Amino acid sequence: MLVAGRMFALGMLIAICVLIIVCMELAKKNLPTFRKIAGLDALPEMIGRAAEMGKPVHYTTGLGELNTNMASQLVAGLSVLSYVSEICAKLGVRVIYTVYQSQVMPIATELMKEAYTRAGKADEFDADDQVRYMSGEQFAYASAVQGVAERERPAANIMIGPFYAESMLFAETFYRIGSIQLAGTARGYQIPFFAVVCDYLLIAEEIYAAGAYVSKDAVLTGSIRGQDVGKFIALILMLVGVILTLAGSNALINVMKL
Amino acid sequence: MKKSVPIALVFITAVIFLLEYFVLPIELKSTVTMLQNWGIILTAFTLGFGAVNMFVFHGKQVSRRAKGQWPYSLWLLIILVLFTLVGVIMGATSTQYSWLYNSSYFALSATVYSSLGFYMTSGIYRALRAKNAESALLLIVGVIVLARNAPALAAQFPILVNMDSWLSSVPTTSAQRGIMIGAALGAIALGLRTMIGRETGFLGQTTEGEKGG
């Protein structure tokens, strides 16, 4: 028995999931090409700059929590953290991950430890120093991160996850100390703040694609093509909706309300 | 095994939550509530990890007399112990604990939030410069919105209200909706990759042998 008012959403969810799986399977035979994401391509350069300057890299996933609807953004941020940690380990750069939710700590610690192991530098990873729990309160966390910025002067600041009012506090503080910055969030209200202050920006869906993009895995990149096909479907639905509404029909609206 | 068990748990949990949302809501309600309670218990438990991490890190800073850091670390540890003692002895809902929280964190939090105005001003000062066509457009739109929100200017030039209203409801809303649709599709793709065990970045990268397929 399906819940009334959610049938269309379920149908669309299943259709998009099938499309994504098909695209992932097709990608095994024919690797899709997609546009460059400047922010993600710049990561090795950002970390290289930190290596030259002998300064650390700061990483935050914002106010990401595993048990809220922001979990997907947190997972996206953690995927990039793994990649960043590996490059940092290879280049001998200390990466500092400041933690907002304590639940994330064991995951991040394990993930970074593995990244250092892959780089052959497992012994250089200092969990107590590099994975720092700050606070579970928004502005206490914001102040603590600002403190890290002012005292340790990271050469690069990477922020991927859900951000709220602290976005500008972070971006401006790191700008003032001369950090090169990459920011990415799917929270629409914070995107303009990051856009005006940060050097590189990942807009919404780009953060979800980031893990697949940096992995260069054929199957994962196939899922990005699936997302694009989903966008075409949304576009077609919008056009059909506009035409039907102009023609005085509520047919599509009624179908969506099923 | 190290990765397959967490992936299986993620898959089962995600399927339960999806079924609860779309299908048979009553029968799965108790399972979902139980899972949510487990989440709360886990969160409370992991707070211990956080506290230990803070004690270890800041304890080291104090013992090493880390330049520019140790006085702050010492102060943090004192406050951490003070809050813990008052919370444990008097209770987290006691007047004493509430007073401690409201007169320290509450006031400080409001202060940090208020300081955002200064950060935004300096950000806007740098952003609103007509360096190219895009930044010139941003400058024009920014000036219109700022002027509209200044009561005296809005009263003197009512057209600003209409311009701001159009900017908010047409270009801004359409751009936001585009971003929302893209983000939703991205979240579905990430969720699916996570559920089927292809997105393992958050568990650490898989080795070629573990990838399969």
What are the tens digits of pLDDT across the range A66-78? Answer: 888 888 899 899 9
Q: Which of residues 49-68 of A touch B (CB under 8 A)?
A: 66-67
- Which of B24 and A172 is assigned the larger pLDDT? A172
How many CB atoms neighbour CB B107 within 10 A? 11
Token pair of A201 as six digits: 């920006």
Contacts of A82 in chain B (CB under 8 A): 201-202, 204-205
- Looking at the complex, does the CB of residue A4 fall below 8 Å from at least one CB of chain B? no
- Looking at the complex, does the CB of residue B69 fall below 8 Å from at least one CB of chain A? yes
In the predicted model, is pLDDT for residue B188 greater than 70?
yes
**B186–A204: do the CB atoms touch at under 8 Å?**
yes
Q: pLDDT tens digits, residue range B195-207? A: 888 877 666 654 4
Query: What confidence tier does A65 reach under pLDDT thresholds 50, 70, 90?
Result: confident
- Looking at the complex, does the CB of residue A207 fall below 8 Å from at least one CB of chain B? yes
pLDDT of residue B208: 43
Which CA distances in Å does B158 have to A223, B27, B143, B153, B171? 49, 57, 15, 8, 20
How far apart are alpha carbons A168 and A149 in whole angstroms?
14
- Looking at the complex, does the CB of residue B192 fall below 8 Å from at least one CB of chain A? yes
Which residues neighbour B80 within 8 Å (Cβ) at sequence distance 6 or greater? B51, B54, B55
How far apart are alpha carbons B81 and B73 in whole angstroms?
12
How far apart are alpha carbons B150 and B142 in whole angstroms?
12
Closest residue to A227, CB basis, from B189, B202, B204 = B189
Interface pTM, i.e. ipTM:
0.85
Contacts of B167 in chain A (CB under 8 A): none
- Looking at the complex, does the CB of residue B15 fall below 8 Å from at least one CB of chain A? no
pLDDT of residue B94: 94
Q: Is A104 left (phi over 0), alpha (psi -120 to 50) or beta?
A: alpha
List the alpha helices (DSSP H) in chain B.
Answer: 4-22, 25-64, 70-90, 95-101, 107-127, 133-148, 151-156, 159-167, 173-195, 208-211
Q: What is the mean pLDDT of residues B120-135?
A: 85
Q: How far from each other are the two terminal CA atoms of chain A, in whole angstroms?
A: 13
Indicate whether this model's pTM tops 0.90. no
Percent of chain B with pLDDT over 90: 51
- Looking at the complex, does the CB of residue B32 fall below 8 Å from at least one CB of chain A? no
How far apart are alpha carbons B151 and A136 in whole angstroms?
38
C-alpha angle B70/B73/B75, rounded to 5°? 110
Among A97, A111, A95, smallest CA distance to A64 is for A97
pLDDT of residue B205: 55
How many CB atoms neighbour CB A6 within 10 A? 15
In the predicted model, is pLDDT for residue B26 greater than 70?
no
pLDDT of residue B6: 82
User: What mean pLDDT is reported for chain A?
Assistant: 92
Q: Which of residues 149-168 of B touch A (CB under 8 A)?
A: none
In the predicted model, is pLDDT for residue A6 greater than 50?
yes
In the predicted model, is pLDDT for residue B210 greater than 70?
no
Closest residue to B176, CB basis, from A6, A188, A207 = A188
Q: pLDDT tens digits, residue range A171-217? A: 999 999 999 999 999 998 899 899 989 999 999 889 988 888 887 77
Percent of chain B with pLDDT over 70: 92
Closest residue to B186, CB basis, from A111, A197, A208 = A208
Q: pLDDT tens digits, residue range A13-56? A: 999 999 999 999 998 888 777 788 999 999 999 999 999 999 99
- Looking at the complex, does the CB of residue B185 fall below 8 Å from at least one CB of chain A? yes
Q: pLDDT tens digits, residue range A184-194? A: 999 988 998 99
User: What mean pLDDT is reported for chain B?
Assistant: 87
Closest residue to A208, CB basis, from B25, B126, B189 = B189
In A, minimum Cα distance to B35 occurs at: A67
Contact indicator for A76, B190 with CB cutoff of 8 Å? yes
In the predicted model, is pLDDT for residue A252 greater than 50?
yes
Buried b (16+ CB within 10 A) or exposed e, B134-167: eeeebeebbebeebbeeeeeeeeeeebeebbeee
Q: pLDDT tens digits, residue range B54-97? A: 999 999 999 999 988 999 999 999 999 999 999 999 998 999 99
Contacts of A196 in chain B (CB under 8 A): 123-124, 126-127, 138
Q: Where are the domains of chain A?
A: 7-30+228-256, 38-215
How far apart are alpha carbons B40 and A101 in whole angstroms?
12
Contacts of A2 in chain B (CB under 8 A): 22-23
Give the CATH class of A38-215: alpha beta
Query: What confidence tier does A63 reach under pLDDT thresholds 50, 70, 90?
Result: very high
Which CA distances in Å does B124 have to A179, A197, A255, B127? 19, 9, 44, 5
pLDDT of residue B213: 37
- Looking at the complex, does the CB of residue B41 fall below 8 Å from at least one CB of chain A? no
Q: pLDDT tens digits, residue range A96-146? A: 999 999 989 989 999 999 999 999 999 999 999 999 999 999 999 999 999
Percent of chain A with pLDDT over 90: 74
- Looking at the complex, does the CB of residue B182 fall below 8 Å from at least one CB of chain A? yes
Phi, psi (degrees; rounded to nearest 5) at A189 = -65, -25
Question: Residue with structure tokens 């023609």?
Answer: A247
Query: What confidence tier does A84 reach under pLDDT thresholds 50, 70, 90?
Result: very high
Closest residue to A211, CB basis, from B42, B138, B199 = B199
- Looking at the complex, does the CB of residue A233 fall below 8 Å from at least one CB of chain B? no
Closest residue to A168, CB basis, from B43, B109, B123 = B123
How far apart are alpha carbons B85 and B90 in whole angstroms?
8
Q: What is the mean pLDDT of residues B139-157?
A: 91
Q: Which of A71-85, A227-241, B2-16 has the lowest mean pLDDT?
A: B2-16
Cβ-based contacts under 8 A for chains A and B:
204
In the predicted model, is pLDDT for residue B30 greater than 50?
yes
In the predicted model, is pLDDT for residue B177 greater than 50?
yes
Query: What confidence tier does B25 reach under pLDDT thresholds 50, 70, 90?
Result: low
